[in-house]
Chains A and B, each alone.
Chain A
Amino acid sequence: MKDFATLLDRLSFTPQRNGKIRLLAEHFRNAPDPNRGYALAALTGTLELAAAKPAQVRALVESRVDPQLFAWSYDYVGDLAETVALIWPERPGAKRPPDLPDVVERLRLASRREAPAILETWLDGLDATGRWALLKLITGALRVGVSARLAKTALAELGAPDLAAIEEVWHGLAPPYEALFAWLEGRAARPEVDHRSAFRPLMLAQPLEAAELPSLDPAAYRAEWKWDGIRVQLVAGGETPRLFSRSGDDIGRAFPDVLEAMRFDAVLDGELLVLRDGAVAPFNDLQQRLNRKTVTPKLLRAQPAHVRLYDILFEAGEDLRALPFDERRARLEAWHAREAPARSDLSPLVPFEDWDALAALRAGLREQGIEGLMLKRADSAYEAGRPKGPWFKWKRDALILDTVLMYAQRGHGKRSSYYSDYTFGVWRDADEGGVELVPVGKAYFGFTDEEMRRLDKWIRDNTVERFGPVRAVKPGLVLEVAFDALHRSKRHKSGLAMRFPRVSRIRWDKPANEADWLAAAEALLEG
């Protein structure tokens, strides 16, 4: 636990990406199995522990410490886990400190009721940093500025050719990842991944700059609609079919209707939509289906899910990813005609003569459910990540920005118990190097109470600072903001102000570092 705690402690104070990678790689190199594998799991969010609730932790400390002294201390420190870690009265000759594997293995078996007693003996054995790390771990609030992607990037330094090589095997493995470390250290062969159940990293598109269009050869590219749903990967052929989001989360539980229709042996790339009477329903309808633990028959009827297919990665065990796009497309069409699985269709290719014709098509886009166009090179292999050149996305013109939530404030009236007023920002290069968010506007939105509750919880869980009724949150949630116009203003640090901004949707699926930049906002300025 000591090494893991030191790692978390150092990471939490290390601002630079390279510094974080250095610390992580050092830990992965030096810590023994299975400690490092559990550390990796904790950082990538693949540990599932019977966590303790903050209220339980609080009760525990109040049985040990004068309540008035605790209250003053909490007030000063501002964070519950940290206050408990610091104030916990050490007992000389106390118990042996637990190892990270002890903690993980013990908590896996423990019930929520047993957790506090176990926790108490561990707190007695650890030092302040160890207690802090333990409490962060078991209250599920690690937050040391490390994304799963960053942790894997550091892992790749141990001996993988690149991040994609890690991603390729990642989803077939489980904590504590001993086979993965053995492979990276050259002690064992690459872990076998069952393509019939594992997620494969997606190929993503670069945004198209209109200026680069003339340099591209229209004959070398194919065009498709970019549908306004959620990008998914369908994996079937193994014991149970699986539906993954583009970040590799298994979202199948919320879509039993889609899983039911996956009676084939293939890995497919497509867009998850709600389709009613053949028409794509608004994105909000799909939101209703997401993140549900249970789905009622009523909801299944009201918001029927559907997958519009873009690509095929595996067919009956054959890896097609190295084939050119045109060949994969032919395979996809033939496969779909033969299998004709329910709740799916093919995203059609959009024929065009030249870029002007395509631009005209895009300018006339009014249809619900289409976000813009995708351009894919006819000879492009299916590569993990976001390679520059083979695929582009060309969004339709709309005054829409993907912003990052910065501050939240309690609303008024009916909303007064929720954090429902939001200040959001876009990225720019910081003066001191690195990047920073600058606010571009403030809005509230009118989603369902349930969405509001979820957002409210996210805000509470991700608060980094409070000023009266306002909470500053860590940059982790993308809000798509629609607005009527954008003009210059001195009111916001960005120098921009929006006319009638409204949060058009919450992009739970989108990483914050992919939100828009200030330059993209400025390009939308009027006049």
Chain B
Amino acid sequence: MPRALVTHGHADHARPGNGAVLATPETLAIMQARYGEAAWREQQALAYGDRLEVGGVSVGLAPAGHVLGSAQAVLEWRGCRVVVSGDYKRRPDPTCAGFEVVPCDLFITEATFGLPVFRHPDDGAEIAKLLASLATYPERAHLVGAYSLGKAQRILALIRQAGYDKPIYLHGALQALTRLYEGFGLDFGALLPATGAAKAELAGEIVLAPPSSLTDRWSRRLGEPVTAMASGWMRVRARVRQRGAELPLVISDHADWDELTRTIAEVEAPEVWVTHGNEDALVHHATQQGIAARALALVGRGEEEQEQDGRASGAEA
């Protein structure tokens, strides 16, 4: 695209090869780290709260609480305000700025977890499950599958919040972005590379890796690890089995059903468009609340998610 406003650095939202990119400084740094030269021809940073005029439209970015640098796009034209949520969540995340409610006339919301069966539990309790499993299986490595951008760093921060202070081992694919987060002032304590560590060294340790390495050849170096997977999809047992995860951790960077419905109520928009997930149920709900709601199909999304996650469904980026 000649001009792109990028809400955050996940691959299904930030693609390489754009002309001019407008995003938060954090998102620009993430795109640079991921795509290098191919990221854009020119870029412009816009901090949360600042505004910019583009062809008569006033553009601003508000925190979305999804991952570091994630933003909602706030567009104003002749007194009419449109907010594009991008991916978001409402609960606190030590690794990024919290979601800001921006009242608007049209709200375009994501709906990754747009079914009322998705209610993410308290993340502290999920981390406690991981630590309890370490006590049950002190001789087994605990391999935690987590997306490389956002989820992995949030898990690190939560483990530290829970008082766990031993070194945590990282798969090579998580190193660069974790260093980037540290560059923005986050402290994850002692981190060691998992690649190259001896099997005996990893016994009883926490190892973070991208989800795809849970079942691939790479995980064999860990002996017989307890495989944990941190994702909102882990709420549903069939998805856990599909993943082959032994220890599901229901931790998501997306809004769950209650957060979605609460946000729709709080932005007070008379019109809501729903995209990026289970649109039907959320449209049904909003309609019942007297809101003009419709599903908005975005082109090409499925494909991108496949890339991100290695399977047709189940991406959470």
Contacts and interface: CB of A to CB of B under 8 A. Distances in A.
Interface string B217-249: 000000010000000000111101100011110
Nearest to A86: B117
A68 B240 CA distance: 25
Nearest to B241: A13
Contacts of B137: 19, 22
A13 B240 contact: yes
A83 interface: yes
B280 A72 contact: yes
Contacts of B237: 12, 77, 79, 82
Interface in A50-94: 65-66, 68-69, 72-73, 76-79, 82-83, 86-87, 89-90
B116 A87 contact: yes
A78 B115 CA distance: 14
Contacts of A72: 115, 278, 280-281
Given A68-B284, A77-B236, A77-B238, A13 B245 contact: yes
Contacts of B235: 86, 128
Interface centre among A68, A72, A89, by most chain B C-beta atoms within 10 angstroms, is: A72
Contacts of A23: 136
B246 A87 contact: no
Nearest to B246: A13
Contact of A69 (B115, B240, B241, B245): B115
B121 A69 contact: no
A13 B247 contact: yes
Contact of B246 (A14, A22, A69, A77): A14
A83 B117 contact: yes
A15 interface: yes
Interface string A123-152: 000011000000000000000000000000
Interface in A285-312: none
Interface string B87-116: 000000000000000000000000000011
Nearest to A132: B237
Nearest to A433: B224
B160 interface: no
Contacts of B276: none
Interface residues of B, number: 25
B231 to A, nearest CB: 14
A76 B117 CA distance: 9
Contacts of B241: 13
Interface centre among A13, A87, A89, by most chain B C-beta atoms within 10 angstroms, is: A13
B217 to A, nearest CB: 12
Given A14-B246, A77-B236, A86 B119 contact: yes
Contacts of A89: 116
A19 B115 CA distance: 33
Contacts of B117: 73, 76-77, 83, 86-87
A463 to B, nearest CB: 13
A265 interface: no
Nearest to B140: A19
A236 to B, nearest CB: 46
Contact of A78 (B116, B224, B238): B238
Contacts of A22: 136-137
A15 B119 contact: no
B116 A65 contact: yes
A82 B236 contact: yes
A66 B288 contact: yes
B285 interface: yes
Given A66-B288, A69-B115, A78-B238, A127 B281 contact: no
Nearest to A90: B119
B134 to A, nearest CB: 13
A127 B116 contact: no
Interface string B279-304: 01100110010000000000000000
A26 interface: yes
A14 B241 CA distance: 10
Interface centre among A12, A78, A86, A87, by most chain B C-beta atoms within 10 angstroms, is: A86
A471 to B, nearest CB: 15
A14 B228 CA distance: 11
Nearest to B284: A68
A491 B146 CA distance: 40
B295 to A, nearest CB: 13
A195 B43 CA distance: 85
A54 to B, nearest CB: 17
A16 B241 CA distance: 14
13 contacts: A13-B240, A13-B246, A13-B247, A19-B246, A22-B136, A69-B115, A69-B116, A77-B238, A87-B116, A87-B117, A127-B121, A128-B119, A128-B121
Given A15-B246, A26-B136, 11 more contacts: A12-B237, A72-B115, A72-B281, A73-B116, A73-B281, A76-B117, A77-B236, A86-B117, A86-B236, A89-B116, A128-B119
Interface of A: 10, 12-16, 19, 22-23, 26, 65-66, 68-69, 72-73, 76-79, 82-83, 86-87, 89-90, 127-128
Interface of B: 115-119, 121, 136-137, 224, 235-238, 240-241, 245-248, 278, 280-281, 284-285, 288
